[in-house]
Amino acid sequence: MVGVVGHEAADVVTTDAGTERRPGGTPIYARRSLDALGVAWVVVERGGFGSRLHHHDGVVEQWVEAVGEPFGPGDVLAAVAGCEWVILGGQTAGDFPPETIAALAGAGHRVAIDGQGLCRGSEAGPVRLRSFPAEAIHGVSVLKLNRAEAEAAAGGLDAEALAGLGAPEVAVTLGRAGALGVTAEGSWRSQPTGGGEYADPTGAGDTWTAAYVVRRAAGDHPAVAARAAARHADHLYL
């Protein structure tokens, strides 16, 4: 069983097909991903986050319009008690205070965090990616980033820069170029699946992360888990 914690988002999404309002956030997309894999889940979610997203020319522009309340240890520990892995899907840097991550790790959970929120900061307004202190992820087992987030947080994609973020395992998705990352054993690279570009990639990162965690829990090497996660995302998005 996998635990998922995060804010449900109220998103306004614009693509070439037009603009629509839709619910979003890690709980929705990770739950969908786990359902497709036949994996049981527990979700802890609350509302309060809102944003606008504009997908164009392979780029995502985002504006945060409302910030949700942080998740404290008491909000999550009892709910995820039966989960070996817990995915934290932050929308902003304040969603998961260090004491919450420390409490989860201290209770024996392996924590995977999507670094998108950490890279956005805590305030409303246009999203401007930035670095974050290593203390913000102390106790995390896996840090997941996309290319832009990794470049903003680490200053580059080389193994030394990624290892310097402070997580024992870092996984960076590169879209159609595959994925790469580092562990204590060294760096790895996952080749592309050959799938096409997603017309609307909203939630694809959460989909990938859930599948990656499932494969890592099964004992797959990170590169193998990353490729399996990409194939799974292709299946749901293409």
pTM for this predicted structure? 0.94
Mind listing the pLDDT tens digit for each residue in 126-145? Answer: 999 999 999 999 999 999 99
Whether the Cβ atoms of residue 163 and residue 143 lie closer than 8 Å to each other? no
Q: How far apart are CA 31 and CA 36, in angstroms?
A: 9
Predicted local distance difference test score (pLDDT) of residue 201: 87
- Mean of per-residue pLDDT scores for the chain: 95
Secondary structure string (H, E, C) spanning the chain: CEEEEEEEEEEEEEECCEEEEEEECHHHHHHHHHHHHCCCEEEEEEEEEEEEEEEECCEEEEEEEECCCCCCHHHHCCCCCCCCEEEEECCCCCCCCHHHHHHHHHCCCEEEEECHHHHHCCCCEECCCCCCCHHHHCCCCEEEEEHHHHHHHHCCCCHHHHHCCCCCCEEEECHHHCEEEEECCEEEEECCCCCCCCCCCCCHHHHHHHHHHHHHHCCCCHHHHHHHHHHHHHHHHC
Mind listing the pLDDT tens digit for each residue in 98-110? Answer: 999 999 999 999 9
Predicted local distance difference test score (pLDDT) of residue 159: 97
Please determine, for residue 17, whether its predicted confidence score (pLDDT) is greater than 90.
Answer: no
Sign of CA dihedral 222, 213, 101, 47: positive
Domains of the chain plus CATH, in order, are 2-6+24-44+71-237 (3.40.1190.20)
